[in-house]
Amino acid sequence: MQLRSLSLFRGALLALTLAGAAACGKSDGPSGSDDPESRLDITNNSDVSVFYVRIRECGSATWGDDLLGASIIPAGLGESFIVSPGCHDVKLETSPVNNGQKIWTNVDFPDGGIAYQTVTTWDPVE
């Protein structure tokens, strides 16, 4: 009788687990973009850390807030950010001590797509 109770318990536990996963939006099926958010993937292949990541709409004169906040992107690592679809300029900056920047203009962020940017060298901040 204990074996049957254990089997029923396992079945109930499995049902609750699957119901919880479905409620959280998780599934075993293929995943696709359910929202139009785009992503910016930055890879830092330079020898110094990225201290600031800013974007602006193409044609705008004002850069947005730093997307990294209190974080940095160390040399050899990367980071991903959710951005709105459309045309944007992207600006990366090193620490003021290293005085470097990298700017990419007119980067297209398609609906639900990924824009990949890799920094290997830095331009001086003017």
Q: Which tokens is 63 given? A: 């850069």
Whether 10 and 49 map to the same domain: the answer is no
Whether 17 and 67 map to the same domain: the answer is no
Whether 54 and 21 map to the same domain: the answer is no
Whether 47 and 22 map to the same domain: the answer is no
| Structural element, H or E, at residue 123 | strand 123-124
Confidence of residue 34 (pLDDT cuts 50, 70, 90): low
Whether 74 and 112 map to the same domain: the answer is yes
Whether 52 and 111 map to the same domain: the answer is yes
pTM over 0.85: no
Residue 7 has pLDDT above 50, yes or no: no
* DSSP β-ladder status, 114-119 and 38-44: parallel
Q: What DSSP assignment string belongs to 23-76?
A: HTT--SS-----S--EEEEEEE-SSS-B-EEEEEETT-SS----SSTT--B-TT
Structural domain range at position 100: 38-124
Whether 76 and 98 map to the same domain: the answer is yes
Residues 14-26: tens digit of each pLDDT: 344 444 433 433 3
Which CATH number do you get for residue 106? Answer: 2.60.40.2890
Residues 43-66: tens digit of each pLDDT: 999 999 999 999 999 999 999 999
Going by C-alpha positions, the residue among 67, 89, 76 that lies closest to residue 43 is 76
Q: Which tokens is 6 given? A: 């254990």
Whether 116 and 54 map to the same domain: the answer is yes
What 3-state DSSP class applies to 99?
Answer: coil
Query: How many structural domains is the chain composed of?
Result: 2
Confidence of residue 36 (pLDDT cuts 50, 70, 90): low
Whether 18 and 46 map to the same domain: the answer is no
More confident residue, 31 or 48: 48
